[in-house]
Structure 1
Amino acid sequence: MIHNPNNILTAGKPLEEATKVMVMVHGRGGSARDMLSLSTYINDKDFAFVAPEASQHTWYPYSFLQPLQQNEPYLSSALNVLEMLRARLQSDFNLKPSQIYWLGFSQGACLTLEFLARNPMRYGGIFGLSGGLIGPEGTSRDYAGSFEQTPVFLGCSDTDAHIPKGRVLETEAVYQRMGADVTAKLYPGFPHTINEDELKIVNSLISGQ
Structure 2
Amino acid sequence: MTSSTLETIQVDTGPNPTISVIWLHGLGASGDDFVPIVRELDLTGLPAIRFIFPHAPTMPVTVNNGYVMRAWYDIVGADLSRREDEAGLRASQVMVEQLIAQEQARGVPAERIVLAGFSQGCAMTLQTGLRHPEKLAGLLCLSGYLPIHTTVAAERHPANQQTPVFLAHGRTDQVIPIARAEQSRDMLKSLGYPVEWHEYMMPHSVCQDEVEDIGAWMRRVLA
> Do they superpose with TM above 0.5?
yes
Q: Is the 8 A contact 2:115 2:129 kept in 1?
A: no
Distance across 1 between alignment mates of 2:114 and 2:95: 16
Alpha-carbon spacing, 1:6–1:55, altered in 2? closer, same or farther (3 Å): closer
Alpha-carbon spacing, 1:55–1:6, altered in 2? closer, same or farther (3 Å): closer
Matched position secondary structure for 1:141:
helix
Distance across 2 between alignment mates of 1:191 and 1:37: 19
Describe how 1:1-209 pairs up with structure 2 within 5 A.
5-13=5-13, 17-44=16-43, 46-56=48-58, 57-62=70-75, 64-68=80-84, 71=85, 73-90=87-104, 92-119=105-132, 121-135=134-148, 139-142=150-153, 143-188=156-201, 190-208=202-220, 209=223
Instruction: Normalising by structure 2, report the TM-score.
Output: 0.79
Q: Is the 8 A contact 2:23 2:117 kept in 1?
A: yes
Distance across 1 between alignment mates of 2:186 and 2:160: 13
Distance across 2 between alignment mates of 1:139 and 1:150: 20
Q: Tell me how far 1:199 sits from its aligned partner.
A: 1.1
Matched position secondary structure for 1:48:
strand
Distance across 1 between alignment mates of 2:206 and 2:134: 26
Matched position secondary structure for 2:173:
coil
Q: Is the 8 A contact 2:6 2:57 kept in 1?
A: no
Query: Which segments of 5 or more consecutive residues in structure 2 lack a partner in the other structure?
Result: 59-69
Moved over 4 A (4+): none
Report Cα offsets for 1:146-182 as digits up to 9, x if no partner: 5253222111112322223233223223433455322
Counterpart code for 2:94: N
Q: After alignment, is 23-32 or 197-206 more displaced?
A: 197-206
Distance across 1 between alignment mates of 2:99 and 2:190: 26
Counterpart code for 1:5: T
- The sequence identity of aligned pairs, in percent, is 26
Q: Is the 8 A contact 1:125 1:205 kept in 2?
A: no
Distance across 2 between alignment mates of 1:180 and 1:100: 18
Q: CA RMSD in A?
A: 2.4
Q: Tell me how far 1:119 sits from its aligned partner.
A: 2.0
How many residues in Structure 1 have an aligned counterpart in Structure 2?
A: 199
